[in-house]
């Protein structure tokens, strides 16, 4: 008999996607708009043209992704933090990550709707990480 423990591939993918999502949200522009005259303005965690709501949404997405990392680390480490299966909680957190991405971009669009604006890499990092994590948590729950 082998005492090797199998690594859950869904948990490993969620871990990687969450880390990539955090990096994209924290380091890239969340949204941008064209001011005219060749000038572009951006929203990010430390940009001047961010709205309060989209900054809060970006921070919440990072926090939710960190919590998702903790949820999957609970399955990946040899000694679990919590003995319960936290997959459903992770699924809810992934859904909330997508919701906060939508709230943040809607806030930016409402503020700068008079200009030509678009979602940027930080938004896509958050929404894609939330969507893929939700799918992976659902598959993880189905295959448990």
Identify the pLDDT of residue 6: 77
CA angle 109/28/17 to nearest 5° reads 105
Identify the pLDDT of residue 96: 98
Q: Are 69 and 18 in contact (CB under 8 A)?
A: yes
Per residue in 52-109, pLDDT tens?
Answer: 999 999 999 999 999 999 999 998 888 888 888 899 999 999 999 999 999 999 999 9
Q: What residue ranges define each of the domains in the chain, with the CATH number in brackets?
A: 9-142 (1.20.140.150)
Q: pLDDT band at 1, cuts 50/70/90?
A: very low
Q: pLDDT band at 21, cuts 50/70/90?
A: very high
- The closest alpha carbon to 23, from 31, 15, 35, belongs to 15
d(CA 55, CA 91): 23
Q: How many CA atoms lie within 13 A of 105 on its CB side?
A: 22
- pTM for this entry: 0.91
43 CB burial (10 A radius; 0-12, 13-18, 19+): buried
Q: What is the mean pLDDT of the chain?
A: 93
Please give the structure tokens belonging to residue 118.
Answer: 């678009």
């Amino acid at each position: 008999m082998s005492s090797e423990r199998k690594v859950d591939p869904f948990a490993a993918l969620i871990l990687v996607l969450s880390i990539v999502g955090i990096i994209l949200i924290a380091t890239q522009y969340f949204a941008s708009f064209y001011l005219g005259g060749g000038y572009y303005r951006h929203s990010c965690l430390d940009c001047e043209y961010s709205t309060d709501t989209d900054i809060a949404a970006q921070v919440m997405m990072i926090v939710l992704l960190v919590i998702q990392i903790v949820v999957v680390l609970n399955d990946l480490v040899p000694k679990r933090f919590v003995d319960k299966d936290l997959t459903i909680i992770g699924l809810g957190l992934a859904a909330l990550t997508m919701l906060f991405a939508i709230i943040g971009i809607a806030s930016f669009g409402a503020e700068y709707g008079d200009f030509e604006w678009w979602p940027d890499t930080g938004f896509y990092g958050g929404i894609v990480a939330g969507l893929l994590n939700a799918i992976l948590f659902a598959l993880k729950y189905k295959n448990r």
